[in-house]
Structure 1
């Protein structure tokens, strides 16, 4: 299925018959990398030479998530996305759309751990859906494309998503920048947006090691133009890490990695075990008609 659009002119990109590349009607062409993703991030859309998470952070997140420590989070995500897609498939607006798979967009897909789980879960539960993902970091997208060949990936910015208006039935954003205007542009009326935010006590014991005065995360109700709030579900579970590398990987995949004083880092590096709570809120929004 064609989905991504040309970042230069907005024309729909299609696979060229010759070679591994995509092209729009105006003739702008983009090579598909050996890993399987396409780079649709223009130079003027970058805020640095190599935007996105560093290779170290991407590897740390990949290695930590592969331990299965966040499996309860992934399971809840799949359940919620499946429920919304099932709602759409059974609704009156599906009349006349028979036979077309639903389109799910993962905005800020990272290394593709959750995207890959969705690609496995949805068909196993009888949901016909095509999944597309993008991230501003090419290292992350490269990992994602290698991990899950069933998903189409691109390097792109959430501030200029390379897809047409109303092209997605649902959009998922897990800890990536939220760009309400762009998200409202690409999600069709009646579709949904699913966000995840840290709960109040998320990784609190980790913060106790990092900071002299640890703090709870603020819980807020936020409205986004074009969407209406329709659900908040919390998932929490215990983490018991008994390997130093897992503790360090968890630290490196969080925002605390960038703003922790040296003393906090040293305390964490001395730990052999860590027991803490993981707590997230899933926020569901529906695109207004």
Structure 2
């Protein structure tokens, strides 16, 4: 059973060998890589929205080296804890990128014998090509988190890792009692990198947000340090951050000249329950 619904008429979608179809007759082709495209043309603001092929490749290579493995592990532990009573929880990764966290979550639930429907959406088709290969049992689509092509109250566990937030849509697709996990940077996340980039680095703003339809349960802190031993990994990490879009040229040049860097990693995983 597909978690996806038709983006044109909101009817359920059925996945076939080559396409998704709805009862009305709308059809959405499956790409050879295994993902589909559920972003209507009137909501598409560029030819190839989202991260490009090179950005996705760099991020994927960085993540595969395990620098953010503690975050994947923490998400898996929370998912397992909060869905322990569910025989086959439905999981949605909003802004799934190349599927690094999706794959870890799918593997954990499979190990526990509780595999359920798994879906991921992202705006970048280049990212989804990799996600569909990582999680062959999942389904992936080019889509906007502001207009999720997902049925009402069909999801038990929803993840949002460094991606745009649309809690109204999250509220719509989650079942009552379902959980939403929102990963944000801590105050000193990448502090040593920022000291290289900026003359006067600033701490990240940290505050808890309350959202209509949800009960905030906790913020799970994750703090550690990574050692980056090559310029390629340093710049790949930089490219994964918002700083890549707004750092002065001089700061980028200082960072790119480094051959190694030790920097703090800090995440807070905010856990919410759908009321």
1:123, CA displacement in angstroms? Answer: 1.6
Matches of 1:108 and 1:165, distance apart in 2: 18
Alignment of 1:193-212 (within 5 A): 193-212=180-199
The superposition leaves residues 145-174 of structure 1 with CA deviations (integer Å, 9 ceiling, x where unpaired) of 122202111111101100111010121000
| Equivalent residues of 1:237, 1:279 under 8 A apart | yes
How many residues get paired?
Answer: 275
Q: Find out whether 1:188 has 2:186 as its counterpart.
A: no
Identify the residue that residue 15 of structure 2 maps to in structure 1. 15
Report the TM-score, using the length of structure 2 for normalisation: 0.97
> Paired residue for 1:266?
253
- Distance of 2:112 and 2:15 partners within structure 1: 30
Counterparts of 1:1-289 in structure 2, within 5 Å, are 1-16=1-16, 19-86=17-84, 88-89=85-86, 101-288=88-275
- The answer to whether the 8 Å contact 1:196/1:280 transfers is yes
Structure 1 spans left out of the alignment, 5+ residues: 90-98
Does the CA contact (< 8 Å) of 1:184 and 1:226 recur in 2?
Answer: yes
Q: Which runs of structure 1 show a deviation greater than 6 angstroms over 4 or more consecutive aligned residues?
A: none
Q: CA deviation at 1:122?
A: 1.4
Partner-residue secondary structure (3-state), 1:38: strand
How far, CA to CA, are the matches of 2:164 and 2:90 in structure 1? 21
Flag structure 2 segments of 5+ consecutive residues without an equivalent. none
Which string of whole-angstrom CA distances, capped at 9 and with x for unpartnered residues, describes residues 65-111 of structure 1?
Answer: 0111111111111101111111x52xxxxxxxxx6x21010011001
Indicate the larger mover: 6-15 or 48-57.
48-57
SS in 2 for 1:194: strand
Using the TM superposition, give the Cα deviation of residue 125 of structure 1 relative to its aligned residue in structure 2, in angstroms: 2.8
Please say if residues 15 and 21 of structure 1, whose CA atoms lie closer than 8 Å, have aligned partners that are also in contact.
Answer: yes
TM-score by length of 1: 0.92
For residues 55 and 161 of structure 2, what CA distance do their matches in structure 1 show?
A: 16
